[in-house]
Amino acid sequence: MRAPLSMARMFARYFAQTMLLQFVLLLGFVLLLIVLSANSERERLQKQMDGTVRLIQRELLRQPPARRDASLRELQPLFAYPLALVRLPPASLGEEARARLASGQSWLDSSQQNLYAPLPGTSQLLVIGPLDSQGSGGGWLHSELGLFVLWFAFFGVPLALLIYLNLRPHWHDLAALRDTSLRLAEGDLGARAPAARSPLFSPLQRQLNSMAEKLETQMETRQALAHAIAHELRTPVARLRFGLTMMDEAESDDERRGYRDGMERDMQELDELINVSLSYSKLDRGEVPLEYDTIDLEEWFEDLIELVQPLRPTLLQLTLDCARGEATFDRRLVYVATRNLLLNAFKYARQQVCMTVAVEQGQLIITVDDDGPGIPEKERERIFDPFQRLDRSRDRATGGYGLGLSFVRLIAHHHGGKAWIAQSPQGGARFGLTLPLHPAGGAPSQSVT
């Protein structure tokens, strides 16, 4: 397994690659300039040295041949570059150079920086150079090493600082995201990435934290659901065990038949509990697709009221105040949510339950008010949690499993809305469901997952 890359190693890698690329490009550019300007530079230097060459030639021709070397040595202190007389051109000169020297013209050897000029009327050659020796006293800065140091100082140091300042926030964010993902992988679902310093990783940091929050919420919900289901299973299982014991001790067939009937009811209760729990889990995981339809509000809610009338207690009055218009939602799921709200109100209302359907600012607001005892404010936060029954004195026949309001909240969230609770003007509880009137992408008969 490869060791994790540190910021120092990453910085060194990027800096070395950048400097190498810069050096290669600079070297290639300089070589190109040298190739393109070689001939013109040679001609320029030759013309520049023409006057000096003629003066030296004139001074040497005034002297007899035996005195020319001595005269050249006397002239040497006046020039910054070496002077010499030779009889034959060096073997390194090419045919073009020899031809020019034979025709009486001077020739600059670019490789050696030597200027060759024939001495008229003689077989001798005046050699001037190397011409770049006049800069040899400039110190180490004029050497190849000095040029490299200057190049590094003016280009390398600012570049290193620029790379470091830009890389540091990216590396900090990347390390924070890595540490957070490792903590999440180890099971710490409360881990969150700190705010990103660089805009490059800000969207990733927000998405990671959003994912972690959803995972934590789902895990907490599933754990609570698992604990609640385990708790709910204890009662029917205990009754089944008690029934089996009592059947063995029964003294008559009628008594045994009574215990058997009780055990069948307990088995049916277990079956219902498992089916309801599975349906809740599927909805919680988003595995139930939305099938949107455009609904006429008055017609649909009047049908809803008729469907729940048989479940209404005899002395309880149920009224509907519905706005006119249309809305888009999944009729099957919203029926479950509104029916659960009404059934919950039926359990607690004393005389009256009122359903109100309103349209405000692009939202469909459904409220159910009752005149019952209401919900204490401190209990409102957990009323929508699964298997929550605030009235512990109720039995299965009246209390259900405590999943009705949990379904309401899940269905609201599934539609992009919310479920809420407040104090009712009638003195009891007001349960509300707020949904988008026409959600984006909620075309009729279109499934949304």
Per-residue pLDDT at 418: 92
Superfamily of domain 289-448: Histidine kinase-like ATPase, C-terminal domain (3.30.565.10)
pLDDT at 392 over 70: no
Q: How confident is the model at residue 113 (pLDDT cuts 50, 70, 90)?
A: confident
State whether residue 264 is helix, strand or coil.
Answer: helix
Most confident of 87-96, 226-235, 418-427: 418-427
Q: Could you tell me if 366 and 349 are in contact, meaning their C-beta atoms sit under 8 angstroms apart?
A: no
User: Residues 369, 356: contact at Cβ < 8 Å?
Assistant: yes
88/397: higher pLDDT: 88
Please tell me whether the peptide bond between 130 and the residue prior to it is cis, using omega within 30 degrees of 0.
yes
Q: Mean pLDDT highest for which of 29-38, 66-75, 219-228, 273-282?
A: 66-75
pLDDT tens across 361-379, in order?
Answer: 999 999 999 999 888 888 8
Q: How far apart are CA 217 and CA 204, in angstroms?
A: 20
For 34-187, list the strands marked E by DSSP: 83-86, 107-109, 114-118, 125-128
Q: CA torsion sign, 43 to 49 to 55 to 57?
A: negative
Q: Name the least confident of 51-65, 169-183, 244-258.
A: 244-258
With bands split at pLDDT 50, 70 and 90, how would you rate the model's confidence at 224?
low
Rounded percentage of the chain residues whose pLDDT exceeds 70: 81
- Sorted by where each begins, the domain ranges of the chain are 7-138, 289-448
Contact status, residue 45 vs residue 37, Cβ threshold 8 Å: no
Q: Which two tokens stand for residue 223?
A: 């754990």
Pairing of strands 352-360, 317-322: parallel
| Residue 20 banded pLDDT, cuts 50, 70, 90 | confident
Average pLDDT over the chain reads 79
Evaluate whether 147 touches 133 at the Cβ level (below 8 Å).
no
CA separation for the pair 241, 327 (Å, rounded): 51
> What's the pLDDT at 223?
72
Q: Which pLDDT value is given to residue 447?
A: 39
pLDDT of residue 441: 65
Which pLDDT does position 333 carry in this prediction? 84
Mean pLDDT of 317-329: 93
If you count them, how many residues does the chain have? 449
Indicate the range of 68-77, 284-293, 344-353 predicted with least confidence: 284-293
Tell whether the model's pLDDT for residue 183 goes beyond 80: yes
Rounded mean pLDDT, 347-355: 92
Residue 291 has pLDDT above 50, yes or no: yes
Q: Extract long-range pairs of 311-319: CB within 8 Å, 24+ residues apart.
A: 311/342, 311/343, 311/346, 312/346, 312/353, 313/346, 315/351, 316/346, 316/349, 316/351, 316/352, 316/353, 317/351, 317/352, 317/353, 318/342, 318/352, 318/353, 318/354, 318/355, 319/352, 319/353, 319/354, 319/355
Here the tokens at position 421 are 């609770």
pLDDT band for 173, please (50, 70, 90 cuts).
confident
pLDDT at 330 over 80: yes
Predicted pLDDT at 237: 80
What pLDDT score was predicted for residue 449? 35
Per-residue model confidence (pLDDT) at position 296: 94
Q: Give pLDDT, residue 273.
A: 64
